[in-house]
Amino acid sequence: MITFLAFIGQPKFIFQPHLHIPWLTNVRHVRPLECISDADQPGWPRAVQLADKSLLDDHLTIVIVTARPDFKRIPLSLASLVCHLDYRKLSEVILLVPRRHVSYLEPFLAGQAVNHWPWPISIMPDDIVLKHSHTHSYRLQMMFKLVIAQIIKTEFYMILDSDCIALWPIHVEQLLLKQQVSTSKMKHNTPSYRALYQLEERSDHAEWWPESEQVLQIEPNTCITNNPSAKTIGVTPAILSKSIALRALCRLQTLYGDRSFLNVLANWALWRTPFGRMWTEYTLYYLTALCTGIFNSYHFHRANTSSIPALNLYGLSVWWPTDWNSFSRDQLLKSANAGLRWRQKEIDNNNGAPIIDSSGYHLPQIAIPKLYPLL
């Protein structure tokens, strides 16, 4: 039996809070972001990418943005991935960590310790991606989730937090769906696979969308309807496309300049933040994909296909003390035990290969955000 402790508070600041002083804020990307104009959409340039033929686009990279206060939660998260995540098409697990915190993880996840994991795992200092000072922690976290695309070697990468726990067997076949790519799409480097996304209504985070539209300089109700019930992309855990994430950054770079666009994100409308209004990584990403007309070439939702059974990227979430009651604990334990039994069935009867249930009785849940091991 596994016991969990609920984290209280929202949003969660992964990095140690620093005093945000707008006139001293300095955020800059380390690796050059080279963008080229798109003849069909000159206002939305594409990133120049070096083709890496060593990996197929049916592989997935896992990215966990974390820091020392969250390190005590990482063992359970990684253990759940070892137990449930099909390793055969997993390219790498990356832990993006402040440089001063790297030494705390290295004894457990570097050197000889890497041999204990079924997939390559790396501890990456965050300053090889961004240099930053006097920057709001939560905004910095969101920037990292887009800028990390510069070093990802696969087309798709899954963003997890340290408190996302897998409860059911996860197979890449359920996350990445093969598609037929026409000759015209091949010219635009459309991938052979599409990534699963979780649906949310615009009203779930209504305050985020106007801010992101303003940052991207998009007229409201153009690329995406402002209907509150409109279906949009969800939040962490989420699978992002390297191409779309970089295209969002290229748009911002074009609008605000190479040396300024990250500072614009850092300082954007700070006075509105207490009212819940701010841009987010996922709204910038989704708006970019819709405005360029490429979202459906890179993503699918389980409601749109019958070729794979339903998979839920979300699970039980605990935000407040009132969420952590006997009913939610019973739900969690029941799901965890059922998931372990299902995984054991795969190991015993199918040599570890997927046994994907299509009866509709089981609804695999990929993660239980905001649940913490009791230490």
Q: What CA–CA distance (Å, rounded) separates 56 from 146? A: 21
pLDDT of 17 reads 54
Q: Are 244 and 289 a contacting pair, CB within 8 Å?
A: yes
pLDDT over 90 percentage in the chain: 41
Q: Are 301 and 196 a contacting pair, CB within 8 Å?
A: yes
pTM of the model: 0.87
109-163 pLDDT, tens digit each:
877 777 788 889 999 999 999 998 777 788 889 999 999 999 999 999 999 998 8
Residue 312, Ramachandran bin (φ over 0: left; ψ between -120 and 50: alpha; else beta):
beta
50-104 pLDDT, tens digit each:
655 545 788 999 999 999 888 988 988 898 888 888 788 899 999 999 999 999 9
Q: What is the DSSP string of 227-246?
A: -TT-EEE--SSEEEEHHHHH
Q: What CA–CA distance (Å, rounded) separates 267 from 269? A: 6
In what helix (H) or strand (E) does residue 211 lie, and over which residues does it extend?
A: helix 208-215
Mean pLDDT of 193-202: 92
| Residue 2, CA distances (Å) to 82, 210, 350, 372 in order | 16, 42, 26, 10
Q: Omega into 17 within 30° of 0, i.e. cis?
A: no
Helix axes 281-291, 242-256, angle to 10 degrees: 90
Q: What CA–CA distance (Å, rounded) separates 251 from 82? A: 37
